[in-house]
Amino acid sequence: MDERRPGLLRASRSIAVALGPVVFTQGRRLRRVVPRLPDAAQPWHGSVAGPRPLRLLVLGDSTAAGVGAATQEEALPGRLGAVLRERAGRGIHWRAVGENGATARDLVTRYLDEALAEPADLLFLTIGANDSLALRGAGAFRRDVARVLDAVAERNPGAATLVSSLPVFGRFALLPQPLRRTLYRHSLALEGAVRELVARRPRTVMSVDPPAYADDFFATDLFHPSASGYRDWAEWAIDDAWDRGLREWLG
- Where along the chain do its domains lie? 6-250
Q: Are the C-beta atoms of 78 and 71 separated by less than 8 Å?
A: yes
Percent of the chain with pLDDT over 90: 78
DSSP state of 212: P
Q: Is 6-250 a CATH 3.30.1020.10 domain? A: no
23: pLDDT strictly greater than 70: no
Mean pLDDT of 195-211: 96
pLDDT score at 22: 56
pLDDT score at 5: 44
Indicate the burial class of 128 (C-beta count within 10 angstroms; 0-12, 13-18, 19 or more).
buried
The pLDDT tens digits of the residues spanning 114-155 come to: 999 999 999 999 999 999 888 888 999 999 999 999 999 999
pLDDT score at 7: 43
103 versus 9: which is more confidently predicted? 103
pLDDT score at 135: 84
111: pLDDT strictly greater than 70: yes
Q: Give residue 231's region: left, alpha or beta (phi > 0; psi -120 to 50).
A: alpha
pLDDT score at 119: 97
pLDDT score at 9: 43
209: pLDDT strictly greater than 50: yes
